[in-house]
Amino acid sequence: MSTLGKHIILEMWGCCKDTIDNVEVVKEILVKAAESVKATLVDVVCHRFSPYGVTGVAILAESHIAVHTWPEHGYAAADIFICGSAINPRNAASYMTEAFYAKETSFLELKRGDFLSRTPQMAGR
């Protein structure tokens, strides 16, 4: 394995406002996103803001899935960071896109801990 993991930065527009403003629904989507990729769920924490918006984090043995919502804009932003190579984080991104009824999405996939392409440097430089 050349990297420690993959990190997806997912943006979702045109989401169902009622879905992304409901803390229980967002929590359920985080749980099911983890289940959809067979990740090991450690805990889920969600918070509903006033007057609207939800932030939630699913802590995984393999890392985390986090989401922040702006119902007034129909927008949700998610981070999906999965360590190792056994789980494809794109599958969790696809699940969340469908669950939030996003009409438009974009994502950026980053390699985390990419040791093979790293140029060795001296300590402190």
Catalytic residue among 68, 73, 94, 117: 68
* pLDDT at residue 119, as a whole number: 63
pTM, to two decimals: 0.89
Q: DSSP 3-state helix, strand, coil percentages of the chain (rounded to 5)?
A: 25, 40, 35
pLDDT of 85 above 90: no
Catalytic residue among 7, 15, 46, 83: 83
pLDDT of 117 above 80: no
Contacts of 10 (CB under 8 A, 6+ apart): 77, 78, 79, 80, 93, 96, 97, 105, 106, 107
pLDDT of 120 above 80: no
Q: Is 63 a catalytic residue?
A: yes
Q: Is 46 a catalytic residue?
A: no
- Please, what are the domains in the chain? 5-112 (3.60.90.10)
What is the average per-residue pLDDT within 9-32? Answer: 98
What is the average per-residue pLDDT within 4-28? Answer: 97
* pLDDT at residue 1, as a whole number: 54
Catalytic residue among 7, 46, 63, 64: 63
* pLDDT at residue 29, as a whole number: 98
